[in-house]
Amino acid sequence: MWDERYNSKQYVYGTRPNDFLKERVQSLPKGRILSLAEGEGRNAVFLARLGYKVTAVDSSAVGLEKAHKLASLHGVSIECIHADLAEFEFGENQWHGIISILCPLPSSIRKLVYQKVEKGLLNGGVFLTESYTPKQLRYGTGGGDCIDTMQTKATLTRELPNLEFNHLFELEREIIEGDFHTGLGAVVQAIATKYG
């Protein structure tokens, strides 16, 4: 599905970074950042331009090829890894930050991925995420129609018990990110830190 979606000259989610990431990037410690389901590279390139060392993981080789092109266009480099998040190993105590932006994972896979997030972060490392909430089904402005891939404050705190949340809000906001995320959306935004 994702190879097909990304298979166009156009960047289907745009080339600008996610607004929440842009507004809160100072929350991420400088260093190594892992971007989950990075797609066409907009968020990874934004971080690389700020001096972060970014590794982008995605299941779409087509998307990652476009990510490389976007990085070259901006004179930065990012490491791209073609892998399924359910199988990709994050390592232990490796990342200063991990980001997950509008990544629609089924809850069974998401729980496994979040265990890897907790292990993969260094002490003091930060997880930053924005996800659609079930209220998004009212709007139909992105995120699909599967409630199981959507999140709430409750699911985040339950699925990431070993992180301390510094920022956790559900809200509605205008999302203008290419063809597939456009219009009023219902999201949950979170920033959480690993201590110990």
* 3-class DSSP state of 143: coil
Q: Which amino acid is at 25?
A: V
**Helices (runs of H) and strands (runs of E) counted in the chain:** 6, 7
Q: How confident is the model at residue 2, as a pLDDT?
A: 62
Q: How confident is the model at residue 3, as a pLDDT?
A: 58
Tens digit of pLDDT for each residue in 65-101? 999 999 999 999 999 999 999 999 999 999 999 999 9
Q: How confident is the model at residue 6, as a pLDDT?
A: 60
Least confident piece of the model among 2-11, 19-28, 72-81, 87-96 = 2-11
Domains of the chain: 2-194 (3.40.50.150)
Q: Which amino acid is at 73?
A: L
Tens digit of pLDDT for each residue in 32-52? 999 999 999 999 999 999 999
Q: How confident is the model at residue 12, as a pLDDT?
A: 77
Query: Whole-prediction pTM value?
Result: 0.96
Task: Say which DSSP state 29 is in.
Answer: P
Give the count of alpha carbons within 13 A of 108, CB side only: 0
Q: How confident is the model at residue 84, as a pLDDT?
A: 95
Overall size of the chain counted in residues: 196
Tens digit of pLDDT for each residue in 118-172? 999 999 999 999 999 999 999 988 888 999 999 999 999 999 999 999 999 999 9
| Residue 17 pLDDT > 90 | yes
What tokens does 81 get?
A: 């890894």
pLDDT tier, 178 (very low <50, low <70, confident <90, very high otherwise): confident
CA distances from 150 to 115, 132, 144 (A): 18, 5, 9
| CA-based R_g, the chain, Å | 15
Residue 56 has a CB neighbour count (10 Å cut-off) of: 29
